[in-house]
Amino acid sequence: MIDGSFTELTQYIRHLEELRAEAIAATLNMPLGTGEGKRAAKEELDGDQKKKKKAKSTSQGVKALEKVNTRGMKDMRSFFTKKAAKVKA
């Protein structure tokens, strides 16, 4: 390499190109549907299991709001009622 020759570098690059071509050929020759590297599909649940799962599916926000002290707060419906008209005197 001291003499300015790039023969070792070009040989290395050719070797890398050969490896890359082999990898591409290997992926193209792999049959579809082998399923390698894919996750298994989730199993279907019975009717009873679906009902149980639905019953437990309350969100964390709903659970947190159940613990909130609402004493002294206005009812939400009070914000959406029509206000009484003001009478001019």
Listed by start position, the domains of the chain span 1-29
The confidence score (pLDDT) of residue 65 equals 85
pLDDT digits (tens, 9 = 90+) for 5-61: 899 999 999 999 999 999 998 888 877 665 565 555 556 656 666 666 666 677 888
Q: What is the pTM of this model?
A: 0.33
User: What is the distance between the alpha carbons of residues 37 and 26, in angstroms, rounded to a whole number?
Assistant: 15
Q: How large is the average pLDDT for residues 84-88?
A: 76
Examine the pLDDT at 1 and tell me if it is beyond 50: no
Which residue type is seen at 24? I
